[in-house]
Amino acid sequence: MAVCIAVIAKENYPLYIRSIPTENELKFHYTVHTSLDVVDEKISAMGKALVDQRELYLGLLYPTEDYKVYGYMTNSKVKFVMVVDSSNTALRDNEIRSMFRKLHNSYTDVMCNPFYNPGDCIHSRAFDNMVTSMMMQVC
Amino acid sequence: MTRPEMADEALFLLLHNEMVSGLYRAAEQGEGENGRCITKLENMGFRVGQGLIERFTKDTARFKDELDIMKFICKDFWTTVFKKQIDNLRTNHQGIYVLQDNKFRLLTQMSAGKQYLEYAPKYLAFTCGLIRGGLSNLGIKSIVTAEVSAMPACKFQVMIQKI
């Protein structure tokens, strides 16, 4: 279960960003912003590092004391950033990958929606519902 | 050869032909500005290309460079849309690519030589937009033009714009 999910366009502005309602949502926005630098580093290091350069999943971008940030970049240079709670140790790599796949599938559906102009913010309710199902349930 | 596949091909061909003639008919009844139709068709192709590319690259590996992307367009993309690959890809390695298709699916029904040659550009505008939209979603700004010398063979020229 994620704490914050963001979709960033290829020009590096957010198309969609949603976090669980806490007092300090700005902190999540900031975390996502700084993670973009790490994404760029990973992409440019593809030739030299041991990272599998053919995969879209980027893995753990960086851990902070409370949270872990994961990244995924599609072939169309759209980035998905997911922030999860560090205390949630039950989440495995495979689960994160499958969450990203679901995000990618929903994003593709949004792209093919004739009422969506590429580059606009995402307002689709179907996408919202899918993201809600992945966020942590906080009462 | 399964039946559902055959219907699939014909559907796109017929729809495309109707789209072209429908647009021109509407333009005649309207203000009669014929020049805008080609642009409209190209823009339609652009939006369709963007969505298509998103779907097709969902499961493929990350592209290494520009040439990799052009090869993907020539092989996988062309096969999925037109059920065949591009026959010849040439480049000058400086941003110009020429894709040659010797039996372009959208023109085979029209003629097998020089007849109806002057109508060919209308039927190529959508595909030009398709290529441009696909490339734009992959991060490449380009200008795509098409030329026909003898149907059904045609050449698409892609000029990559370095920003």
Chain B residues near residue A46 by CB distance under 8 angstroms: 62
Cα→Cα distances A43→A12, A68, B8, Å: 14, 19, 38
- Whether a cis peptide bond, with omega within 30° of 0, leads into B152 is yes
| List of residues 6+ apart from B54 with CB closer than 8 A | A74, A76, A107, A108, A111, A112, B137
> How does the average pLDDT of chain A come out, rounded?
83
A77 interface with B at CB cutoff 8 Å = yes
Q: What residues of chain A lie within 8 A of the CB of B53, using their CB?
A: 75-76
Confidence of residue B32 (pLDDT cuts 50, 70, 90): low
CB contact under 8 A, A75 and B57: yes
Q: Is A107 at the interface with chain B, CB within 8 A?
A: yes
Angstrom distances, CA of residue A33 to CA of A123, B105, B125: 21, 46, 40
Condensed to tens digits (0 to 9), the pLDDT of residues A1-15 reads: 788 899 999 888 989
Which has more pLDDT, A45 or A39? A39
Cβ within 8 Å, pair A55-B54: no
Least confident among B27-36, B112-121, B152-161: B27-36
A74 close contact with B: CB closer than 8 A: yes
Interface test with A, best of B137, B140, B141, B163 (most A CBs within 10 A): B137
Best A43, A54, A75, A113 residue to mutate vs chain B (most B CBs within 10 Å): A75
pLDDT tier for residue B66 given thresholds of 50, 70 and 90: confident
Token pair 């240079």 is found at: A77
**Shortest CA distance to A103 belongs to which of A74, A75, A68?**
A74
* Cα(A40)–Cα(A8) distance, integer angstroms: 13
Give the single-character DSSP code of A13: -
Pick from B47, B64, B137: which is nearest to A76 by CB?
A: B137
**Which of A10, A75, A111 comes nearest B62 by C-beta?**
A75
Which chain B residues have a beta carbon less than 8 Å from that of A77?
A: 138-139
pLDDT at B50 over 60: yes
ipTM of this predicted structure? 0.81
Chain A, window 120-139: residues with a beta carbon less than 8 angstroms from a chain B beta carbon: none
CA–CA dist A120, A102 (Å, integer): 21
Which single residue is written with the structure tokens 């017929």?
A: B14
- Which pLDDT value is given to residue B7? 62
Closest CA to A56 of A68, A67, A65, A46: A46
Q: Residue B163: its pLDDT value, please?
A: 65
- pLDDT grade, residue B33 (50/70/90)? low
Token pair of A74, please?
């599609």
- Is-contact B90 B81, C-beta < 8 A? no
Partner-chain contact B139 A56, CB within 8 Å: no
Q: Does A44 touch chain B (CB under 8 A)?
A: no
Q: Looking at per-residue confidence, does B40 or B35 come out higher?
A: B40
Given a cut of 60, is residue B4 above it in pLDDT?
no
Q: What is the mean pLDDT of chain B?
A: 85
Residue B5: predicted pLDDT: 53
The structure's pTM equals 0.85
Q: How many CB atoms lie within 10 A of CB B47?
A: 17
Share of chain A above pLDDT 90, in %: 14
Q: What are the phi and psi torsion angles at B8 (to 5°)?
A: -55, -45
**pLDDT at position B3:** 47
Torsion of CA A105, A107, A113, A116, to 10 degrees: 180
A-chain CB neighbours of B63 within 8 Å are 75
Of A68-77, B2-11, B65-74, B79-88, which gets the smallest average pLDDT?
A: B2-11
